[in-house]
Structure 1
Amino acid sequence: MDDDKVLETPWYFGSECDGGFAEYTRVAARHAYRIVSNLSDLELASFPCSYSTAENMLTRASVKSGETVLVTGASGGVGSAAVQLASARGARVIAVTSPGKTEKLKALGAGQVDVVIDLVAGPKWPSLMDVLRAGGRYAVAGAIGGPLVELDVRTLYLKDLRFFGCTVLEPQVFGNLVELIERGDISRLVAEAYPLCEIVAAQKAFGEKGHIGKIVLKLDQ
């Protein structure tokens, strides 16, 4: 791989690139960040890639202090990170942690939410559009509730909504995240830690969805 080449499509460890569970790997220098923190390596490992994904969504949607942000899938790694990071920006956060909250969302009333940070999609998706105010913003980086949704296009243009698909990080995102960690503005959320040799058990625990935060792998010493 040419370290100086800027890729046109995403290429991440554990997704497009093998090596997410390796003891050693190599990255271009521009993707490596120095961090000064009293947190352990295990605790620091809980930040990427969930916190960077969440921070990228908030950056794309230009979340500001005083705004109301609704986060779906708020108990997961990215969702719990989005709750913290939005709060760190001074936003008011509404966290949704289960799919059966349509009526609760509707009770907020149309025009109440400035930004939706969505990691779920699925059949309840139209209710997210209902609670976005006119001129609101919607950012998505996951579809654990199902990838197909029903959109009334009139809602999109009559409410002047803005949609953001979020995969590739904006250049400033990870550096901003490192600063937040170093200042102690956000907390690590390590749900469980497994030795690398017990990765099968770790993946099983992840699939059971009973955790809040991140499941971290420890390298064998």
Structure 2
Amino acid sequence: MIEPCIREVNGEAMAEPWYFGSECDGGFAEYAVVSSNHAHKIVSEFSDIELASFPCSYSTAENLLTKSNVKAEDIVLITGASGGVGSAAIQLATARGATVIAITSPEKSQEILDLGASKVIHRDESIVRTLGKNSIDVVIDMVAGKSWTELLDVLKPGGRYAVAGAIAGPLVELDIRTLYLKDLTFFGCTVLEHNVFANLIRRIESGDIKPIVAHSFALDKIVEAQEAFLEKKHIGKIVLAVSAS
């Protein structure tokens, strides 16, 4: 499996990491060249399609949990829980022993509970009214948007907020007093911590987490795959098969 956060190219360290398939090409290639530091052997009975669902979303989720130091005694609130990163974060936080509360749509609630969440909040519910202020240790956010201030309200004093997305809107309003009076810590999470991908491999091999493949399409059906993605009816990942075999 290839670590998607590329720090080394042609034997030289990058000043700023690339992401495989983003800053560097190769995401749709059948063969690609990558530094051996970023190529990880994995022993698993999962198929190639199932394994392909792990690298990007699950490493992002593990990075969010690593930077915010999620521990077994923590209560963790996860937004965007039905997406690739959100559904991965549920499994990975549960594997750490944390208690997970997830935000999703009503029609996806049972599947999110089946992944390991102990409680589900629907998107149109008031987070503060449902959970109460100062009730959450860590917020894992992929959404932001108009309800963002509630995420800080439910954090306990000394709470941690980690973010890797803004699908509901990137502009939010922050009362800076909330940040300093509650001694909150914010984590922006893009570049992977050095141990994140190796830890993810161990989780896969030990059976702590499972792939969630909603659909799989051949590469020449990429338009259909993108249309399915935009419908937002799926949970987990949509995978492209780049090899005819």
Do they superpose with TM above 0.5? yes
Amino-acid identity (%):
64
- Alignment correspondent of 2:205: 182
Residue aligned with 2:229, SS:
helix
Matches within 5 A, 1:118-157: 118-157=141-180
Are 1:162 and 2:169 an aligned pair? no
TM-score normalised according to structure 2 size: 0.87
Output the CA distance in 2 between the equivalents of 1:44 and 1:100.
30
Provide, for residues 49-104 of structure 1, a one-character-per-residue CA deviation record: whole Å limited to 9, x for no partner: 00000000000000000210000000000000000000000000000014734514
- Alignment correspondent of 1:57: 64
- Alignment correspondent of 2:108: none
Residue aligned with 1:135, SS:
strand
- Alignment correspondent of 1:112: 135
Aligned length: 221
Output the CA distance in 2 between the equivalents of 1:124 and 1:2.
41
Moved over 4 A (4+): none
Residue aligned with 1:10, SS:
strand
Output the CA distance in 1 between the equivalents of 2:13 and 2:66.
21
Output the CA distance in 1 between the equivalents of 2:142 and 2:96.
20
Output the CA distance in 2 between the equivalents of 1:213 and 1:2.
30
Correspondent of 2:231 among 185, 208, 215: 208
- Alignment correspondent of 2:81: 74
Please provide the CA RMSD for this pair.
Answer: 1.4
Are 1:89 and 2:87 an aligned pair? no
Give the conservation status (yes or no) of the 8 Å contact 2:64–2:189. Answer: yes
Residue aligned with 1:123, SS:
coil
Mind listing any 5+ residue stretches in structure 2 that lack a counterpart? 1-7, 106-121
